[in-house]
Amino acid sequence: MKQSKGNEAVKITAAYLGGEVKVPSSKSIGHRILICAALADGESCITGINMSKDIQATMEALSALGATILRGNASDSSTYIVRGIRREVNLKDPIIINCYESGSTLRFLLPVGLSISDKLTFIGEGRLIERPIDEYFPIFKACQINWNYSGQLPIDLEGYLKAGQYSLSGAVSSQYTTGMLLAAPLWHGDTEISIQGKMESQGYLDLTH
């Protein structure tokens, strides 16, 4: 095929293109799968994790809560072995969890942490310290969890979350609902989570349940 380009003729020849493209893994899935593996019994092998500061924050937080996370292969930085949190182990109180700048780590692990330990302090860096977590406070109050919070991180918490009926707004971040969904299997009894209004981030919830 010839195509005129001004006074110059350009020849275009059909050709086969082939090769291999490695697609980066989803950070959203990475957070969730690491948390699920840490909450599961026994040992899990996870492949395809793309390391980032946010994923590192979740790994360190889960380790603080009692999980063991190891590189699965010295030559493969995307494979990790996760040994689940042993419920019978008494963790040192209070547990300090540094979320760095990861909003997912903070909002996912607030309910998860309060299902494992009754004394927690969450800290962060950068703009994360000002990110809102207000949706959780009615739930904390319902569970008689005490907190010390000045409107920005750190937040000190004392108490356990438990099974019950909870309501969350669909107009705010789905990270709150995701955190509750991840933690709910740890509670004794059935839990009902109702969403008020339209859920704006349904796709992220679909990743979780």
pLDDT in tens, 94-129: 899 999 999 999 999 999 999 999 999 999 999 999
Ramachandran bin of 62, using left for φ above 0, alpha for ψ from -120 to 50, beta for the remaining angles: alpha
Sheet containing 119-123: order of strands: 95-98, 119-123, 155-158, 146-149
- Pairwise CA distance, residues 122 & 147, whole Å: 11
- pTM, entire model: 0.87
| Choice between 138 and 4, residue whose per-residue pLDDT is larger | 138
Percentage of the residues of the chain whose pLDDT score is greater than 90: 70
pLDDT greater than 60 at residue 5? no
pLDDT, residue 91, reads: 66
